């Protein structure tokens, strides 16, 4: 069975299948990379809770950044958020994001309890 949450014609914010939750890329408002990263992570937290998962159950994270020069700033917010000993597999790359205002987009896959 496949369960979709917050679905519209284009996408779902989360899809659960076979004990795994796939979250859509999360972006956030804010003028700094720190503010946007923290906003993205708050949205990830909310979706993980909604699907019955948590930070400790993350399997993978993909982080897109508009400018890799902001890598250290993003990592500071990420490192403060990710649970010690439960870091997921992770990739980070630079990409042109949906709008010029977005500096960070975070995509998470997690196990569901």
Chain segment 55-112, per-residue pLDDT in tens: 999 999 999 999 999 999 999 999 999 999 999 999 999 999 999 999 999 999 999 9
Cα 90 to the chain's mean position, in Å?
11
Per-residue pLDDT tens for 26-54? Answer: 999 999 999 999 999 999 999 999 999 99
Predicted pLDDT of residue 29: 96
Phi, psi for 27 (deg, rounded to 5): -120, 165
* Token pair 């990420």: residue: 78
Do 34 and 76 meet the contact criterion of CB atoms below 8 Å apart?
Answer: yes
**111 bridge partner residues:** 20
Predicted pLDDT of residue 54: 98
Predicted pLDDT of residue 113: 79
* Reported pTM: 0.96
For domain 2-111, the question of CATH label 3.40.50.300 is answered with no
Supply the mean pLDDT for the chain: 97
Predicted pLDDT of residue 71: 98
C-alpha distances out from residue 61 to 9, 11, 26, 54, 94, Å: 25, 19, 11, 13, 14
Residue 89: how many CA atoms within 13 Å on its side-chain side? Answer: 5
């Amino acid at each position: 069975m496949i369960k979709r949450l917050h679905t519209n014609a284009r996408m779902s914010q989360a899809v659960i299948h076979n004990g795994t939750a796939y979250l859509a890329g999360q972006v956030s408002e804010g003028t700094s990379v720190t503010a946007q990263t923290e906003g993205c992570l708050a949205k990830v937290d909310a979706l993980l809770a909604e699907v019955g998962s948590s930070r400790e159950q993350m399997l993978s994270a993909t982080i897109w950044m508009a400018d890799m020069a902001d890598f250290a700033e993003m990592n500071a917010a990420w490192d403060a958020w990710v649970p010690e000993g439960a870091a997921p597999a992770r990739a980070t790359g630079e990409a042109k994001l949906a709008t010029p205002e977005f500096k960070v987009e975070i995509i998470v896959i997690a196990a569901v309890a």
